[in-house]
Amino acid sequence: MSLPKAPIERIIRQAGADRVSEDAVEELRKAVEDAGQDIAQEAIRMADHAERNTVKKEDVEMATQ
């Protein structure tokens, strides 16, 4: 289950793009997915550090700071 293209295209249009090629949307989808994986891994590291099995909001916040 990947991230759907429609909201990704919406992000780049709301950022002010006039025209966007289809493969630019796909590239942004991949980049966003990669960023999510990086943040998720760091959040899991933060939960481990706090000796918790549950990843909480504060772990994600810490991961993005």
Is residue 50 close enough to count as binding its own copies by CB under 8 A? no
Is residue 2 close enough to count as binding its own copies by CB under 8 A? yes
Is residue 51 close enough to count as binding its own copies by CB under 8 A? no
C-alpha gyration radius of the chain: 15
Judge contact between 8 and 29, C-beta under 8 A.
Answer: yes
39-43 CB contacts, 8 Å cutoff, 24+ apart: 39/63, 39/64
Under the rule (CB under 8 A), what is the footprint of its own copies?
1-4, 6-8, 10-12, 14-21, 23-24, 26-28, 31-37, 39-41, 43-44, 47, 53-57, 59-61, 63-64
